[in-house]
Amino acid sequence: NAGVTQTPKFRVLKTGQSMTLLCAQDMNHEYMYWYRQDPGMGLRLIHYSVGEGTTAKGEVPDGYNVSRLKKQNFLLGLESAAPSQTSVYFCASSYVQGAETQYFGPGTRLLVL
Amino acid sequence: GNSVTQMEGPVTLSEEAFLTINCTYTATGYPSLFWYVQYPGEGLQLLLKATKADDKGSNKGFEATYRKETTSFHLEKGSVQVSDSAVYFCALRGGNYQLIWGAGTKLIIKP
């Protein structure tokens, strides 16, 4: 089992460019999450999904969109990247909502110039 | 609202030293509490947890006790190793089932 994988590992964007981050999990988890991690701050929830075809806003959803067309995949999109979106993005999944154990991917480091 | 406060890092210790990383929280009710660890280049993974007051979570030599009276969940280890070098995150699960995270504490262990 690969667990939770994220693509790409690192990306540099120019302001205004768009991109999609891909998260995939092979554990048949219902719940998936996108977080961002910034220096001196804890992880902040961007969006989450409680099942295939569903998405919901987290703490910091502005500037991001998500889709969960397949149960195993959770995509995070940036339509028009801004320097404030420079961060490390983590995807996670769990069996149930707010499960005690969330399984994390290795992260995507994004730099927006 | 719910929040988690951790001691600022980095924390630098010599091998075999005693470790304490402080974590305090603000929450309504009695949330579940967690410590996650992030090793270099990897995602976070659950280290230990406690779900009610006076519970002690333990794993890999690490311990933390849920102290309701002081709203704390400090992480301790009696003798650290170089391999324990990582970033440690304290978190709580709020009423809406979302995890609320501390800022993380970087731990550096020198041989």
List chain B residues with CB under 8 Å of A43: 44, 89, 99, 101
Predicted pLDDT at A68: 96
Predicted pLDDT at B7: 86
User: Is residue B42 predicted with pLDDT exceeding 90?
Assistant: no
User: Is residue A32 predicted with pLDDT exceeding 90?
Assistant: yes
- Rounded distance, CA A48 to CA A31, Å? 7
Contact B43 A102 (CB under 8 A): no
- Rounded distance, CA A102 to CA A100, Å? 6
* pLDDT tens profile A44-84: 999 999 999 999 999 899 999 999 999 999 999 999 999 99
- Mean pLDDT of the region B72-85: 97
- Mean pLDDT of the region B15-35: 94
- Mean pLDDT of the region B48-57: 94
Predicted pLDDT at A40: 79
Contact B100 A42 (CB under 8 A): yes
Residue B21 in contact with partner chain A when CB distance is under 8 A: no
* pLDDT tens profile B79-111: 999 999 999 999 998 766 688 899 999 999 999
The percent of residues in chain B predicted with pLDDT above 70, rounded, is: 97
Q: What distances in angstroms separate CA A38 from CA A85, B8, B18, B90, one per listed residue? A: 10, 14, 29, 15
At residue B4 the predicted structure's pLDDT band, cuts being 50, 70 and 90, is very high
User: Is residue B59 predicted with pLDDT exceeding 90?
Assistant: yes
At residue B34 the predicted structure's pLDDT band, cuts being 50, 70 and 90, is very high
Q: What distances in angstroms separate CA A8 from CA A25, A48, A90, B46, B58, one per listed residue? A: 15, 19, 11, 24, 34
For chain B, the average pLDDT equals 93
List chain A residues with CB under 8 Å of B102: 42
